[in-house]
Every structure is written in structure tokens, then in C-alpha cells.
Structure 1
Amino acid sequence: MSQYKIPESVLVVIYTPALDVLLIERADKPGFWQSVTGSKDTPDEALLTTAIREVAEETGIDATQFALRDWQISNVYEIYPVWRHRYAPGVTQNTEHVFGLCVSPDVTVRLAPREHVQYQWLPWQTAADRCFSASNAEAILLLPEFNQN
């Protein structure tokens, strides 16, 4: 595996049928709340595989047991300078692919303590307001349109 992150990632909005959204707080940036995100491990890793792996790694949730959907939305954004050292020299943009995962309201969440320190379930509008990432907030605001429980 390369020493650098691949600048292609997934964003997985995890939500309940009542449209409560799971947000997790980053361990390396207290106060930065987000949905599950993560880069492909290899250039040829399928995006669905990346989404399933990242959800399991970050929340302990088995996405294969719930309705995981590719929303067919891609965002290209500038990588925050604080995280650019993780990418190859000269890489400044990432392509993020958005997924939605509808889970039961009683699903157990087990955070990866090195990545996230706490989680909360919030109504979708409140969750969108809490996200530090504009693309994450925009994805959450689309939730009513993509919700298919």
C-alpha cells in the first residue's frame, strides 16, 4: 500500500427512518463533526467496498445488514491544508462519492477511538448545521430526497 492517501473517497450519511443522522467527532480535530468518510485503500477498490469498510472501521456498523445506497453524487473539493501531508506532493483536491445508509434506530455504534471521540444522533437539519464540511452538510440536506425506507 502506498504511503500516501488516494485522493478519492466516500462520504456515508448514516441515518434512521425518522431522518436522525449519526455524526462523529474527529479525534484529531475536536469540535469537527462529520459523517463517515474515508479514502480508497487501493486505486482499484470499488467505492461500495470502501463505503462498507469505512462504516465498519469508524462505527462498528455492518453496512451489509442495512440499506446502503450510492446516491450517484460526486464532489470535488480542496483538501484542507492541515491534512494535505497525507497525500502525494502536489495533490490538493479530492473526489468524494456520496452514499446513504439507513439503519435501525437501535443500531449499536462502536467508534474507532484513534479516529473519533464521540457520536450523536441529530435531526437531519441540525446535523447539517453541525458539520464542518460543506459537502457533508449539503449531502445531509439532500436526505429527504434520497430517503427510501
Structure 2
Amino acid sequence: MPHKIPESVLVVIHTADLEVLLIERADRPGFWQSVTGSLDALDEPLPLTAARELFEETGIVADGEHIRLHDWQLSNVYEIYPVWRHRYAPGVTHNTEHIFSVCVPREVPIVLSPREHVRHAWLPYLEAADRCFSSSNAEAILQLPRLFSNG
């Protein structure tokens, strides 16, 4: 199996009234997060990665018309948790994460990838930020009112 590319996307899924969808990892019970995923190839465009991961993990299709991805033009560099470093090339310790979001209707159907996630929950944004295991994920969620206060 090839090594993961240490560049990824974070996609915060929210409603117009700032409820946030979180999904629980299958490999780490109690670890709640937004959609995340690494590039499949070094030349894969970030919006394509975000749309692909959004669909793979939730079944939501960012069609560009009804459901649009928003590129925050913001990235974080963080240390990869030691438990997941074996997925990367030897010596790789940090990942660059690019932030996206998508506003969806609350009733959008959610279809989880069972090998990746076991449950989902819609939470008010403050509760969602508190539940995230990733500090960069929590920080992005806390930015929602400033960026999307009008839906």
C-alpha cells in the first residue's frame, strides 16, 4: 500500500443555522470529526479532494449548484498523531490541512462509509467544536458564525 500524502482537506458540513454534522471514526470510538481526507495524487486539485471526500464519507454531492463547497483559502500545519504515522513515508511527522465548508439542508441524507465512520450527529456549532478530537477541526467550526452568519 502506498504512503499517504501529507496534505489533506477538512470539510466542515453545516446548516444555515449553524448546526454541524460530525461523524465518529470507526477505528477510534469516541473520536468525532468533520470530513477529512488526503490527496489521492500530488496533482489532485484541493476542491476535487474535498468533493471526493465529502461524497465518500457522507454521500453528499457538492454539485456546485445546490450544494457548493467553500474554499476558506486557509490551511493548518499540524503534527500527525503517532498512532497514524505508519501510514506516511518514514520521517513524515506533519500534515498540511486545507479548510473547506459546505452548507446543506438539515434533511440532506447522510450515508456513511462503514469502514471509516460508524455514527453521525447534528450538533449546534459550540457543542460540535467541543466534541471534536482535533483542535484544528474545532477551531474551524468556531469560525462559522463569523464566516456564515447569514447562511
TM tier, smaller: over 0.9
Which ranges of 4 or more aligned residues in structure 1 deviate by more than 4 Å? none
Structure 1 Cα separation of the partners of residues 58 and 22 of structure 2: 10
1:83 Cα deviation after fit: 0.4
Q: Which residue of 2 aligns with 1:67?
A: 68
- Greater CA drift, 105-114 or 64-73: 64-73
The reply to whether residue 58 of structure 1 matches residue 57 of structure 2 is: yes
Q: Distance in 2 between matches of 1:101 and 1:123?
A: 15
Is the Cα contact below 8 Å between 1:79 and 1:92 reproduced in 2?
A: yes
**Aligned-partner Cα distance in 2 for 1:17–1:28:** 31
Deviation at 1:73, TM superposition (A): 1.0
Post-superposition shift, 1:121?
0.2
Residues matched between the structures, number: 148
Deviations, residues 31-54 of structure 1 (Å, cap 9, x unaligned) = 000000000000000000000000
CA contact (8 A) 1:131 1:137 kept: yes
Per-residue deviation at 1:63? 1.6
Letter in 2 for 1:96: E
Give the distance between the partners of 2:9 and 2:147, measured in 1 at CA. Answer: 17
1:85 aligns with 2:82: no
Counterpart residue type for residue 54 of structure 1? E
Structure 1 distance, partners of 2:7, 2:138, is 19
1:48 maps to what in 2? 47
- 1:67, distance to aligned residue in structure 2 (A): 2.3
